[in-house]
Amino acid sequence: MIAAHPDDENTALLAYLARGRKVRTGYLSITRGEGGQNLIGAEQGDALGVIRTQELLAARRIDGAQQFFTRAIDFGFTKTPEETLEKWGREKILGDVVWVIRRFRPDVIILRFSGTPRDGHGQHQVSAILGKDAFAAAADPKRFPEQLQWVQPWQATRMMWNPGAFTKEQREEVEKMPNRISVDPGDYDPVLGHSYNEIAGMSRSMHRSQGMGAAERKGSAKDFLITQAGPVAAKDIFDGIDISWNRVPGGAAVGNVLAEAARSFDAEHPDRIVPLLLKAQNAMVALHQPLPAGKQKELSDAIALCAGLWLDATADKYAVTPGGALKFDATALNRDHLAVQVKSIEIDGIAPATTKDKFGDVLPFNEPKVFTLTATVPEHQALSQPYWLVEPKQGDTYTIPNQLDVGLAENPPLFNAHFHLRIESEDVEVVRPVEYRYIERAQGELTRPVVVEPPVSLQWSKPAMLFPQGAAKTAELQVRANIPKAAGEVRIQPPAGWRASATSEKFQLADSGEQSVLSFQLTPPTGDAQGLLAASAKVGGQTVSTEMETINYPHIPPQVLYPPATAKLVRADVRLLPKTIGYVMGAGDEVPQALQQLGADVMLLSAGDLASGNLSRFDAIVTGVRAYNVRSDLRANQNRLLEYVKNGGTLLVQYNVAEGGNPFGGDTSLLANIGPYPITTGRDRVTVEEAPVQFLNPASPLLHQPNEITAHDFDGWIQERGLYFASKWDDHYQPLFETHDPGEKPQTGSTLYMRYGKGAYVFTALSWFRELPAGVPGAFRIFANLLSAGKT
Ligand SMILES: [Zn+2]
């Protein structure tokens, strides 16, 4: 199945194919969904892509499919396939789709989209356009010949379109399409105890950063598939395709043994078919040819399961530094009565592991046997950065030097334990990833991947530093030890024209986990300027120039990434009138830290503050992104906030999601009351970050005080202009700006302003949550004027 984003996939169809039909099923998401909004935290961009990657893997563990990606980056919403193909490079991403097809070798390719404007999002259209091209190109040895040193050309038999049919009109449209077959993921599976559609609901609910929690729907729910290329399927998706062992030359022998094993399987006594499975393993080897992907591993896993074996490999810590040592526990537990010996265990990806344990004894019944191994990680071992983030990006694609990494969902496990077993009289190899296993009191037993981390990690206290008045400011760099007795020297490199009080400083940390903060006084050049401040630390023979970001959510394993240790420095004249600002955090954003850079005191407002605190001490109050969606205490205290405005305060409301798009439920009708007079939140957005902006009311004080705003202040914005603009509003409001995507009708609902009582109210759905943390100077100047509205 091919589509563009995490959540585009038809999870029900994946579950039906993988769990119901038991065929190898894969989802190729062209992107990792980096450009969307994050509903569970403040991560954006690279970090959001890592979260969505893990959410897809969590979903696949439930529905049973595999996961693939290309190098393309989700650069945000776009309406046209042309913009998408231009940003990605058509040949580059087509090559990746072809590569994944040649490696996975599907019989049937299912497109989720049509490749026409019916699909909406330009990236959706492109997923189908490239999918159609790749169906033929993957089979053509003249296309992407450089791939053929690793893979063979592959002609899938059939390409089908699985159209989304969410409305009555769409369903009627689909039911009239020719060459259409149906499948029913609503079928109940008595072995699993669920229908595939119920499994789909569980799987889809892993997309938490998108608020995709889904019902586990019961009963019939048909899906339609329309043949697009290859022989038309009359009844079934695999019509005319042999999906048995007979397609492998000589494979019938294997198929017959496995069929006999399936027939004689007794769930109370699974060990009784182990001899047949061992026979099937020998028959596979006797074929003397490459086996269908994954079959050997499936069989050895099935043998271990039927033999009642539990095989597990853990490390004594979740992180190790280059040159550091690891202790591994490899556990074998025989919970059945077959004669099983562990002949040897190797750990790959590391210098040969040593052990004092003796191998070869028959495992005792139901008593864990632990083998302890130790090994040292090489001095030059690379850090465990997600492979697609190791090299700098090229525009809107990742740079992946090793072709064999292309398509992989995540880094393979750092280490694998290979258990060489003898079961009865046959040899079997079972491979297990080495993980770190731990107990979290609130959640129980958890595992996380083992990673390589640097001896120290660096962290600038602010990713972007604004110098609004030209005065010197202190930049703080946190140095954190990941090993005991970490000592060395930090060097910083300010951009040209900036002066630093010092460019190096020594540090000494006693314990792992200890940190110290080094301060550097920075003086900006005169006049507007921007640049990157870099830091590196020398510890022993190693140089560290990265920060370390750990992403931790309950639905995915902890993830670590290593962004460069740089901070953006911005010198721009920005004046702000309010001194104290209250902030009502919504779903999560980094606007408060950005506002502190303007010299304001920013305080996060709790439910108690909103209900009974003294609001009049704030010069301005700002609501965070989607705050009205996620905070019932904010909705409940709206009258107090309006009273605050009446008495002279300034209230600034950022975007909220309109009805139908409110993932948290809640009473969306209250969204009509986010201002003193009615405002209807719409779905309009402007996705082109360079889209021109007109000033609708050039005399408005918001454009002149305290900062003089010009068209240049809309230069250098990132990703988009804004989203969820107001679609309708009362005449009391004055729209400030007009901006729209190329070829679209003018939009004036991005920012609304009115005086109310002695104060001012501003609704603004421009993307401040992206622009301010990124240090876009014009965004700071405009936002400062909006915050100053009550005082101008
Ligand atoms: Zn999508």
Quote the CA–CA distance of 223 and 186 in Å, as a whole number: 9
Mean pLDDT of 75-87: 91
Q: Is the pLDDT of residue 670 over 80?
A: no
3-class SS at 87? Answer: helix
Q: Is the pLDDT of residue 345 over 70?
A: yes
What is the Å distance from ligand 1's center to 679 Cα?
Answer: 28
Mean pLDDT of 650-671: 67
Mean pLDDT of 378-400: 94
Mean pLDDT of 64-68: 98
- pLDDT at position 42 is 83
What is the Å distance from ligand 1's center to 558 Cα?
Answer: 25
How far is residue 759 from each of residues 31, 619, 645, 659, 783, measured CA to CA in Å?
A: 45, 10, 5, 29, 17
What is the Å distance from ligand 1's center to 115 Cα?
Answer: 13
Q: Is 172 exposed, middle or buried (0-12, 13-18, 19+ CB in 10 A)?
A: exposed
Highest mean pLDDT among 36-50, 88-102, 276-290: 88-102
What is the Å distance from ligand 1's center to 548 Cα?
Answer: 30
* Average pLDDT along the chain: 94
What is the Å distance from ligand 1's center to 172 Cα?
Answer: 23
Report pLDDT digits (tens) over 732-745: 999 999 999 988 89
- pLDDT at position 379 is 87
What is the Å distance from ligand 1's center to 660 Cα?
Answer: 17
Report pLDDT digits (tens) over 9-35: 999 999 999 999 999 999 999 999 998
What is the Å distance from ligand 1's center to 88 Cα?
Answer: 16
- pLDDT at position 612 is 96
- pLDDT at position 669 is 54
Quote the CA–CA distance of 764 and 778 in Å, as a whole number: 15
What is the Å distance from ligand 1's center to 5 Cα?
Answer: 5
Q: Is the pLDDT of residue 173 over 50?
A: yes
Please provide the DSSP assignment of 637-705 as one string: THHHHHHHHHTT-EEEE---PPTT--TT-S-GGGGGGSSSS-EEE----B--TT--EEES-TT-GGGTS
What is the Å distance from ligand 1's center to 173 Cα?
Answer: 21
Mean pLDDT of 88-96: 97
What is the Å distance from ligand 1's center to 129 Cα?
Answer: 15
Please, which contacts does 311-316 make with residues 24 or more away whose CB atoms are closer than 8 Å?
A: 311/417, 311/419, 311/430, 311/432, 312/432, 312/437, 313/347, 313/415, 313/416, 313/417, 313/432, 313/433, 313/434, 313/435, 314/434, 314/435, 314/436, 314/437, 314/447, 315/415, 315/434, 315/435, 315/436, 315/450
What is the Å distance from ligand 1's center to 119 Cα?
Answer: 9
Mean pLDDT of 207-234: 91
What is the Å distance from ligand 1's center to 147 Cα?
Answer: 28
| Percent of residues, the chain, with pLDDT higher than 90 | 85
DSSP H or E stretch at residue 8: none
String of b and e for 606-637 (b: at least 16 CB within 10 Å)?
Answer: eeebbeebebeebbbbbbbbbbbbbbeebbeb
**Which structure tokens are listed for 171?**
């369903």
What is the Å distance from ligand 1's center to 719 Cα?
Answer: 17
What is the Å distance from ligand 1's center to 555 Cα?
Answer: 21
- pLDDT at position 40 is 86
What is the Å distance from ligand 1's center to 253 Cα?
Answer: 44
Rounded to two decimals, the pTM is: 0.88
What is the Å distance from ligand 1's center to 666 Cα?
Answer: 24
What is the Å distance from ligand 1's center to 7 Cα?
Answer: 6
Quote the CA–CA distance of 488 and 731 in Å, as a whole number: 64
What is the Å distance from ligand 1's center to 28 Cα?
Answer: 12
What is the Å distance from ligand 1's center to 124 Cα?
Answer: 6
Q: Is the pLDDT of residue 108 over 80?
A: yes
What is the Å distance from ligand 1's center to 6 Cα?
Answer: 7
What is the Å distance from ligand 1's center to 690 Cα?
Answer: 23
Q: Contact, 114 vs 4, CB < 8 A?
A: no
Quote the CA–CA distance of 717 and 727 in Å, as a whole number: 23
